[in-house]
Chain A
Amino acid sequence: MSAATLTAARSLIATPAQARTIGSVEGRRAFAFKEVGKRFGDKIVLDGISLDVRAGEFLAVIGKSGCGKSTLLRLLAGLERPTSGSLTFGAAEEGHSRTRFMFQEPRLLPWASVVKNVEIGLTGIAGVAEARQRALAMLEEVGLADRADEWPSVLSGGQKQRVALARALVGQPQILALDEPLGALDALTRIEMQQLLERIWLDQKFTAVLVTHDVGEAVALADRVVVIGAGRIALDLDVPVARPRRHGSAELAHIEGTILDRLFSRA
């Protein structure tokens, strides 16, 4: 275990609200949570989360089930409103959707062809003819151009999730929120999807927020990993490993170990 990494992590826990510029390319802010709390009735799910994320960053959020990580994502996507604190976004760009949400399930409309499903991502953004062009181009990107006119029911689980990814990205969102979208896939398809996601992220430069319970996946993909525990940020750690990253490399394994230690030392 490297002492330097741990020290860096500790100093960040001490000042979670501090603006972060480490490794920043442009330093522009994508969004910021300021002392955000969320309660459902008496149950406190999030308790004063402060998080500043710069544009283009790949952030992974890890935590045990029920720790509030999905709630964090739903707040970000506007599916829930915070009980306390505030949530600010960077300036929205013309012609881009601001936040897109990728669910755990593909959630494709079974009665619409693959390309029509992708076009839903352009609702209110592009006209009919343009939407089809852009949807087809996005399908090309995820390697499903030849399946454009088929029904979703004939696709495999991984292919469905690729269509869902195309739908999320076709509107060129500034922020992509991913709620364990690879959780239901088999191990090999999962690695394939991770690589696809990384490639498109490098290409389109959106801000990605990936909620996952798979620490390996988080360190393989993210620039920065946040661990949520008991409704607070328990750890905020950079993953300063160059890309392309190799699955199972010693460097990644080491960071994974650090995070796992933190996850289990404070139950």
Chain B
Amino acid sequence: MSLATRLARNGVAGWLLPAAIIAGWEAAARAGLIPANVLPAPSAVAEAFWRLTLSGELIRDIGVSTLRALSGFAIGGSIGFVLGLANGLSALSRGLTDTTLQMIRNIPHLALIPLVILWFGIDEEAKLFLVALGVFFPIYVNTLLGIQSVDPQLVEMGRVYGLDRRALFFRVILPGALPSIFVGLRYALGIMWLTLIVAETISASSGLGYMAMQAREFLLIDVVVLSILIYALLGKLADSLARLLERLSLGWHPAFQKG
């Protein structure tokens, strides 16, 4: 086995490029190619990281932001999931709500920010509302699609073999819809961070976005860059968790089987 294949197997390969970029960036900053007031060196960012970690500020802000993101996700995601299930399983429910939902879906949710600020001020509710609205649609659309694309032949088989409605749902329909639901989940996680960053940047008194905006006021460019990097890492972490869940629950799927 060549070194490259082995690195790829261990998942190391994906980190080679970011590491190279950081090394190049550090070298360029030290050589004076990048002025420190445009982009601070990685070592300066690391220093800022250390400083803020020691003061407890960073942990607190990450905690606040994560809590907001997850609460908004839980609210919007569960409403989207339930409505997706309902509209996938019942033609009546779909007939009543789908048109309305599709119309709302076409409004970019960030365009509602002025309205949301008027409604909720700049309190927690505003951010929760925006995040919930943002994650609602990917979850809703993909849950609905997943249920609608369950093989009707399998559903007929389940009926013929006497599965009741409950068993039919849990053993045939839900597992069949799961791959699509996971696509929605991963997409929603991306939107969750995006929405939160925008909401916190515009109006907040705590959280990562607030930290970045404060740093801008005081021209602490290392902290601004740090907060951007942390967003990237948090996004990657959320995606990895979703992938792990996917692998654990979709072991039957040929796409997730080894060799």
Contacts and interface: CB of A to CB of B under 8 A. Distances in A.
Nearest to A116: B171
Given A123-B161, A123-B162, A123-B163, A109 B171 contact: yes
A153 B154 CA distance: 15
A95 to B, nearest CB: 14
Contacts of A110: 252-253
B153 A107 contact: yes
Contacts of A152: 252
A151 interface: yes
Contact of B154 (A100, A109, A121, A167): A109
A153 B257 contact: yes
A40 interface: no
B248 interface: no
B254 interface: yes
B162 A107 contact: no
Interface in A147-181: 151-154, 167
A151 B252 contact: yes
Of A97, A120, A121, A152, most B-chain CB atoms within 10 Å: A120
Contact of A124 (B162, B175, B251, B257): B162
B172 interface: yes
Contacts of A124: 162
B161 A120 contact: yes
Of B154, B251, B252, most A-chain CB atoms within 10 Å: B252
A101 B257 CA distance: 31
B153 A151 contact: no
A109 B163 contact: no
B167 A123 contact: yes
Contacts of A105: 153
A151 B160 contact: no
A153 B257 CA distance: 10
**Main SS class of interface, B:** helix
B157 interface: yes
A121 B153 contact: no
A112 B249 CA distance: 11
Nearest to B153: A107
Contacts of B154: 107, 109
Interface string B169-185: 00110011010000000
B153 A109 contact: no
A103 interface: yes
B252 A120 contact: no
A120 B167 CA distance: 10
A152 B253 CA distance: 10
A264 interface: no
A121 B161 contact: yes
Contacts of A151: 251-252, 257
B252 A153 contact: yes
A105 B160 CA distance: 14
Of A111, A120, A121, A153, most B-chain CB atoms within 10 Å: A111
Given A123-B161, A123-B162, A151-B257, A112 B171 contact: yes
Contacts of B156: 79, 107
B161 A111 contact: no
Contacts of A101: 160
Interface string A92-117: 00000100110101010111100000
B157 A107 contact: yes
A196 interface: no
A97 to B, nearest CB: 8
Interface in A55-105: 77, 79, 97, 100-101, 103, 105
A79 B253 CA distance: 30
B160 A77 contact: yes
23 contacts: A79-B156, A79-B160, A100-B161, A101-B160, A105-B153, A107-B153, A107-B156, A109-B154, A109-B175, A111-B178, A112-B171, A112-B175, A112-B252, A120-B161, A120-B171, A121-B161, A123-B163, A123-B167, A124-B162, A152-B252, A153-B252, A153-B253, A153-B257
Interface of A: 77, 79, 97, 100-101, 103, 105, 107, 109-112, 120-121, 123-124, 151-154, 167
Chain A to chain B: the 10 pairs with minimum beta-carbon distance, closest first: A111-B175, A107-B157, A111-B252, A151-B252, A123-B162, A153-B254, A101-B160, A124-B162, A120-B161, A110-B252
Given A79-B160, A97-B162, A100-B160, 11 more contacts: A77-B160, A107-B153, A107-B156, A109-B171, A109-B172, A111-B250, A120-B161, A123-B163, A151-B251, A153-B253, A154-B257
